Chain A
Amino acid sequence: MHLLPLLLYAAAAAAYAAHFARRDPRTGRLATATLGAGVLAHTFVIGMQTMAAGDLPLVGTSGAISAFVWLLGLAYLYIELTSDERALGAPVAALLALLEIIPALDPAVQPRPPLLQSPLFTIHILSVLFGYASFALAFVLGVTYVLLFKEIKAKQLGFFYARLPSLQILDVMNGRAVTVGWICLTLGVVVGGVWAAQVQSSPDPRAQAMSIADPKILVAVVSWALYAFAVVARRTAGWSGRRAAYLSTVGFLIILLNFVPVGLFLTKSHNF
């Protein structure tokens, strides 16, 4: 089922890359249309899975990654349509296509165990994932900022100089993405905490393991603290530009770490 969105994301990534290299406006519009079709197809897939299972498919690696990809696609499209700037399309669509491989290979929808049948759980997952999607955008913006910064600083005006928007725009968008992501992550962590307190009495061993000592929760709190620092330092200490770009790169690497090795092997509370 995830094959169609996967193919469309891959096609969009190729079209964005071609647009980036050749700067042909028609290819750019084609890329946007393909990505839009991909997100739409993905919406249908998630919708059908929801109808079949009775719940949003958020459980399991496939479900979580699928939801993350969908949210990132939506967030990116929103930014592209409001800023009319397609320079970030290639890396974002490539990331979407890469991550979408996982649900495409393992499309089975895991039923939600009774422990997770709570609206608080749904809010927790959705807001955390949306936060991560924002951080992914901030990461891409940060990397492009550093690439452009280095070209201008070294006086070698070349490939990126001709194609990327200004440092100022990249920096402002990075700041917004980090702020939105941090707010979502805060909401997600708080709701998660409330929900964990509610299910504390449950016999499920995972509910017992919900504590700050669990690797998944610990790493999430670490990344939350890092982004909190990024948000505050930008406003009070002028940590914008390259420093902010580096912070959002490190932050997103921590999140990827939490998604794959920690989420799959180490956690005792979030292993669903």
Chain B
Amino acid sequence: MRLFAVGLSHRTAPVDLRECVDFARGGLDQALSALASRGVGREVVVLSTCNRAEIYAVGETDATADGVGRFFSEYHNVPHARVAEHLYLRRGPEAARHLFRVAAGLDSLVVGEPQILGQVKAAYSTASDLHYTGTLTNRLFHSAFAAGKRVRAETGLGAGAVSVSYAAISLARKIFGHLKGRGVLIVGAGEMAKLTGVHLQAQEVNEIAIVSRTLAAAEQLARRLGGRAVPWAGLSEALADADIVITATAATEPVLTRAMIEEVMRPRRGRPLFIIDIALPRDVEAEVGSLDQVFLYNIDDLQTIVQENLARRSGELVRAEAIVEEEVLRFTSWMQSRDVVPTVVALRRRFEAIRQGELARLEPKMTGLTPDARARVDEITRLIVEKLLLTPTEQLKALSDEATVVAYADALNKLFSLAREQERGRPDLAATADPGDTDATP
């Protein structure tokens, strides 16, 4: 049995094609049953997120991979040529490595993002609930979860915000704890103000107040965010109610001065004020940051944080890849120990063929024997073969590490010319031996 991973992702396919082959849209269960009805693969799992569509399948030969590849175009009614050039195919250990890297967030658009592990889990449990998984895929996906969890727990790959909006929100969380019920004031009604407002809204903050020099613009953004527009004259009162202030006006002069904020802070009795100035040029005087209980961050500060986090993440990449390699090794050695079975079968088949051949060759000399005696000859030869094979079979099955299995299998192949019997057997080893790029277009 061989393992295949066929799919496309943000690394290989443009977004319009990814949208076309989205399996989640019609329901994963539909896709799984369509795939099963074609008889492609014994075990199948379909993983479909907005950045990737992948099918993990277990089959006997590359025909399985071809079938899965064609399924991508036929299921979605897309010309095969259009899909084929973006598809990648990975076999055996390479397929496992690919899935482990995906589960660990190493193959994501934003490296280390945590959602993907949950998506992989959901894909597996859908397939598993509908009985499309088996021994190999069960083990494969549980190993992938383990790899993903280890990378998350043992490295800082997912740590730190990597976008300006998220950096602002995680800072706000460090100051205020959860943001539920906090007062937010947005000064300005431009695109940047809107973007940050949308992110804050997801944190269940209290009603967002929007102040703009033109009330109409404020009202428009207020409708968009479900907040309330405040006329420019009401800025001071709005500041008094706010915990988090975002300034994003196009003004060339500072909108919030030290004197203004000092005035606002006095009645707040030590309640902290977090001001995020994402305007260029600045909306807030730099001296505001030196006031007690005022935290002032501008767009450059936030970008510095993002850069530092990105640098830190790339430093963690090496450790994460090492963890993935460990898990791949563990999985492949398990797979190899299962892989010894075809060698055993081939060996037995070879011995049986020799026995049958010799019996056939001696047939003319045994014509004088009674049926009873002939049965005994058959029995004795069978027992000899059994006895000869007993110890080697036990020894082979007891092997566990990858290298020894490969060495033993190679030796047996050579010694007994098993290659022909093996054709249905264990080509995963051939895939491992094949160096370099395993990507192919089925």
Q: Which residues of A contact B (CB under 8 A)?
A: 23-25, 148, 152-153, 155, 157, 161-162, 165-169, 237-243
Please state if B292 and A242 are interface contacts (CB–CB under 8 Å): yes
Please state if A166 and B270 are interface contacts (CB–CB under 8 Å): no
Measured between beta carbons, the chain B residues less than 8 angstroms from A167 are 174-177, 272
Give CA–CA (A153, B175) in the complex, Å: 10
Give CA–CA (A73, B91) in the complex, Å: 55
- Told that A166-B173, A238-B268, A238-B271 touch, could you supply 14 new A-B pairs with CB distance under 8 A? A23-B156, A24-B154, A25-B153, A152-B171, A152-B295, A153-B295, A155-B297, A155-B301, A162-B159, A162-B160, A168-B177, A241-B270, A241-B272, A242-B292
Residue in contact with B269 in the complex, picked from A23, A153, A157, A237, CB distance below 8 Å = A237
Give CA–CA (A152, B308) in the complex, Å: 15
Give CA–CA (A169, B178) in the complex, Å: 9
Chain A binding surface, main DSSP class: helix
Give CA–CA (A29, B160) in the complex, Å: 24
Measured between beta carbons, the chain B residues less than 8 angstroms from A243 are 270
Residue in contact with B174 in the complex, picked from A166, A237, A239, CB distance below 8 Å = A166
Looking at A157, A165, A167, the one whose CB has the most chain B CB atoms below 10 A away is A157
Q: Which of B251-308 contact A (CB under 8 A)?
A: 268-272, 289, 292-293, 295, 297, 301, 304-305, 308
Residue in contact with B176 in the complex, picked from A148, A166, A242, CB distance below 8 Å = A166
Give CA–CA (A157, B312) in the complex, Å: 13
Looking at B154, B159, B270, B308, the one whose CB has the most chain A CB atoms below 10 A away is B270
Give CA–CA (A70, B305) in the complex, Å: 42
25 contacts across the A-B interface (CB closer than 8 A): A24-B154, A25-B153, A148-B174, A153-B295, A155-B297, A155-B301, A157-B305, A161-B174, A165-B177, A166-B174, A166-B175, A166-B176, A166-B177, A167-B174, A167-B175, A167-B176, A167-B177, A168-B175, A168-B177, A169-B177, A238-B269, A238-B270, A238-B271, A241-B272, A241-B293
Give CA–CA (A166, B176) in the complex, Å: 6
Chain B residue with the shortest CB-CB distance to A169: B177
Measured between beta carbons, the chain A residues less than 8 angstroms from B160 are 162
Chain B residue with the shortest CB-CB distance to A22: B154
In order of increasing CB-CB distance, the 9 nearest A-B pairs are A238-B269, A168-B177, A238-B270, A166-B177, A168-B176, A155-B301, A166-B174, A167-B175, A169-B177
Give CA–CA (A153, B292) in the complex, Å: 9
Give A172 Cβ to nearest chain B Cβ, in Å: 8
Measured between beta carbons, the chain A residues less than 8 angstroms from B289 are 153
Please state if A152 and B174 are interface contacts (CB–CB under 8 Å): yes
Chain A residue with the shortest CB-CB distance to B267: A238
Give CA–CA (A240, B289) in the complex, Å: 19
Chain B residue with the shortest CB-CB distance to A161: B174
Q: Which of B128-170 contact A (CB under 8 A)?
A: 153-154, 156, 159-160
Chain A residue with the shortest CB-CB distance to B270: A238
Chain B residue with the shortest CB-CB distance to A160: B174
Please state if B175 and A24 are interface contacts (CB–CB under 8 Å): no
Give B184 Cβ to nearest chain A Cβ, in Å: 16
Chain A residue with the shortest CB-CB distance to B300: A155
Give B182 Cβ to nearest chain A Cβ, in Å: 10
